[in-house]
Structure 1
Amino acid sequence: MKTISLEVEESIYPNIVSFLRLLPNQSVHVLEDDSDTLSADERIAVANSQARLQAGDDSEFEDWDSVKADFQ
């Protein structure tokens, strides 16, 4: 999967999220910034990704070395 980050005006944000949620779940995972708005499944997916990263498993992330370099 690829990741896209968007910054949109607050007034259109609900419409953008609603549109993205119409797309097939197996093709699109919507992870909103506000953790209060994440579903239980989304929170689990984020926690699982964080656990894999903490264990040193970055195999699921494309070009992870360049991302890590940005944070160091």
Structure 2
Amino acid sequence: MMKTISLEVEESIYPNIIGFLRLLPEQSVHVLEDDSDTLSAEERIAVANNQARLQAEDDSEFENWEKENGQV
């Protein structure tokens, strides 16, 4: 089961945080940067939609995440 966290960090340490997260195994961590300078308008909409679904406790899109990624 995947969990979502949001972090608000100082701009000066942002690159270090992202760099650290990208060192973690891709099957365990999916980084969705919510930085208007790096995300396209389409990506920002997708992130906002996913966050809204999760806040509404609608995780149906993620139900088979582990099966699809070879984890059972």
Q: Please tell me the root mean square deviation across aligned C-alpha atoms, in Å.
A: 2.7
Name the structure where helix makes up a greater proportion of residues.
1
Under a length normalisation based on structure 1, what TM-score does the superposition of the two structures give? 0.52
The letter for the 2-side match of 1:10 is: E
Q: What residue in structure 1 maps to residue 68 of structure 2?
A: none
Q: What residue in structure 2 maps to residue 16 of structure 1?
A: 17
Q: What residue in structure 2 maps to residue 6 of structure 1?
A: 7
Under a length normalisation based on structure 2, what TM-score does the superposition of the two structures give? 0.52
C-alpha distance after superposition, 1:33-53 (max 9, x if no partner): 136535xxxx5xx48x76xx6
- Percentage of identical aligned residues: 82
Specify the SS of the correspondent of 2:19: helix
Structure 2: 5+ residue runs without aligned partners? 64-72
Moved over 6 A (4+): none
Q: 1:37 to 1:24 in 2, by over 3 A?
A: same
